[in-house]
């Protein structure tokens, strides 16, 4: 592992984020969104009803550490911030979480104030904001603060949060010591922390919530005799389950689990195989054994998952220095063509990935090290069309799909000829014999090409 468990839109954009923000572009370019950071930083992301994507991240200077906020508008043009949420004099956990709270935001973080009498010393603290510009630190902890039951969240191996059934916040953290990983319902410091695993060592927890039933599932990674992934329903209470395996850890990236938008089911993405460097991405609906595997992606790292409209899901990862993303159909039975994204110019290492897909496209964030340092970079990624050709004598049938679903109204061009696809995603051309190349495009999608030979 690269660290102990206790301690990424028309031309390439190379300008660095200044204190007053930076200009972003359409899909195809990177913008520096947060930072500088340590390589262990893990951001929290959430989108408010106006389409703004909000980011919280750690900033460290000497012993002091701050929780910071930046935001990206729905257009993906411009980065606002940074805004300081809170500074701890004694340091801050490098992992943070962010959720929607009504029409506003609630941030989760933990640090050391240097004062043992401070009620928020070392436990899970929260702050709220209507728009991200100004924040109110909440006076009580979101984890137990009793002398005998306090959790050392400041040194926990991962922090996550979600809005559970009935709008009740649920938070979770990894081990600060064996057996210390826990989760907490509501925001009462008087409520007990729940311990979910006694195995060593538990890290990078995350929470998925079924948007229809309200079921809440906690997933985590563990390092013991083996290195793997497990999950457990915590509302209603369930038992510990390992996905069809073997499974391996995700290089300490937050465990990839999510509910869906407007559809039932919670889905876990994990690395299928004996170790993280030779394993392949896999997706399974929790409580089932029906796994989708990406067999040509051996050696994937920093696997992430994010919900999109109509029950679709985005899956994304890094492999051999290139970022990949793909979006499923509404049934999550098939994924579309892989979109490939080069990292920011000069990147030596990508340490982490995060993503948000509620607008349909994927807002991808990569914690990347460039000559300027370690920062989170943002790029909007469009789902990629699939174009298939069936050529015959003097003609070709071209079919445009998205994760197996036909795309009506796509523009298909062969040489100087172009047509729009019908309701079945098909466009037919009469052509002279020879080798040809076709291109399919539609607003909201990345284009696709195919070569074929007409007889």
Last residue of a domain, one of 330, 347, 381: 381
Whether 350 is covered by a domain: the verdict is: yes
Instruction: Give pLDDT, residue 1.
Output: 38
| Domain boundary residue, one of 353, 381, 409 | 381
Same structural domain for residues 362 and 220?
yes
**Parallel, antiparallel, or unpaired: how do β-strands 313-319 and 426-430 relate?**
unpaired
- Domain membership of residue 262 (yes or no) is yes
> Rounded to whole angstroms, what are the CA distances from 336 to 41, 104, 219?
30, 33, 26
What is the average pLDDT across 285-297? 95
pTM over 0.85: yes
Interval 221-273: pLDDT, tens:
998 667 899 999 999 999 999 999 899 988 779 999 999 999 999 999 999 99
**Range of 397's domain?**
386-454
- Residue 413 forms part of a structural domain: yes
DSSP character for 242?
A: P
Q: What tokens appear for 196 in the block?
A: 């979910």
Instruction: Please give the residue that has the higher pLDDT: either 28 or 163.
Output: 163
CATH of the domain at 284: 2.120.10.70
432 and 367, same structural domain? no
Mean pLDDT of 53-59: 97
Query: 176 lies in a domain?
Result: yes
Query: Which pLDDT score, from 0 to 100, does residue 251 have?
Result: 78
Last residue of a domain, one of 381, 404, 425: 381
Section 207-223 average pLDDT: 96
Q: What is the mean pLDDT of the chain?
A: 91
Q: How far is CA 192 from CA 183, 184, 185, 189, in A?
A: 9, 7, 9, 8
* Pair 327, 403 in one domain: no
333 phi and psi, to 5 degrees? -105, -15
Task: Answer whether residue 21 is part of any domain.
Answer: no
- Asked if residue 401 and residue 365 are part of one domain, the reply reads no
In terms of Cα–Cα distance, which of 360, 274, 278, 363 is closest to 316?
Answer: 363
Q: Are strands 44-47 and 448-454 parallel, antiparallel or unpaired?
A: unpaired
Decide if 25 is inside a domain. Answer: no
Residues 131 and 257 in one domain: yes
Number of domains in the chain: 2
Confidence of residue 26 (pLDDT cuts 50, 70, 90): low
Give domain status of residue 19, yes or no.
no
Whether 3 is in a domain gets the answer no
């Amino acid at each position: 592992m690269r660290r102990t468990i206790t301690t990424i839109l028309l031309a390439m954009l190379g300008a660095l984020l200044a204190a007053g923000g930076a200009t972003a572009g359409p899909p195809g370019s990177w913008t520096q969104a947060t930072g500088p950071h340590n390589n262990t930083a893990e951001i929290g992301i959430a989108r408010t009803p106006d389409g703004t994507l909000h980011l919280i991240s750690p900033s460290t200077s000497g012993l002091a550490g701050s929780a910071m906020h930046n935001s990206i508008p729905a257009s993906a043009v411009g980065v606002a911030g940074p805004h300081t949420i809170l500074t701890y004099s004694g340091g801050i956990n490098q992992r943070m979480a962010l959720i929607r709270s009504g029409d506003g935001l609630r941030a989760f973080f933990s640090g050391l104030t240097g004062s043992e009498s401070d009620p928020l010393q070392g436990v899970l603290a929260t702050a709220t904001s209507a728009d991200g510009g100004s924040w109110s630190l909440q006076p009580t902890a979101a984890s137990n603060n009793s002398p005998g039951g306090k959790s050392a969240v400041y040194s926990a191996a991962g922090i996550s949060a979600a809005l559970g059934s009935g709008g009740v916040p649920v938070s979770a953290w990894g081990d600060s010591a064996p057996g210390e990983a826990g989760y907490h319902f509501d925001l009462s410091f008087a409520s007990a922390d729940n311990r979910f695993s006694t195995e060593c060592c538990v890290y990078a927890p995350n929470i998925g919530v079924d948007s229809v039933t309200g079921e809440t599932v906690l997933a985590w990674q563990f390092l013991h005799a083996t290195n793997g992934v497990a999950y457990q329903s915590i509302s209603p209470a369930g038992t510990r389950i390992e996905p069809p395996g073997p499974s391996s850890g995700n290089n300490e990236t937050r465990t990839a689990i999510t509910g869906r938008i407007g559809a039932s089911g919670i889905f876990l993405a994990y690395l299928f195989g004996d170790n993280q460097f030779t394993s392949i991405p896999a997706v399974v609906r929790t409580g089932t054994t029906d796994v989708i595997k990406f067999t040509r992606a051996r050696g994937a790292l920093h696997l992430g998952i994010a919900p999109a409209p109509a029950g679709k899901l985005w899956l994304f990862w890094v492999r051999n220095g290139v970022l990949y993303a793909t979006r499923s159909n509404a049934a999550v039975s098939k994924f579309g063509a892989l979109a490939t994204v080069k990292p920011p110019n000069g990147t030596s290492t990508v340490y982490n990935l995060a993503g948000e897909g509620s607008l349909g496209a994927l807002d991808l964030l990569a914690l990347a090290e460039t000559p300027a340092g370690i920062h989170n970079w943002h790029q909007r990624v469009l789902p990629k069309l699939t174009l298939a050709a069936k050529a015959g004598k003097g003609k070709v049938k071209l079919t445009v799909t998205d994760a197996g679903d036909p795309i009506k109204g796509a523009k298909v061009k062969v040489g100087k000829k172009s047509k729009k696809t019908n309701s079945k995603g098909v466009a037919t051309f009469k052509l002279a014999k020879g080798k040809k190349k076709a291109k399919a495009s539609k607003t909201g999608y990345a284009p696709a090409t195919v070569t074929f030979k007409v007889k």
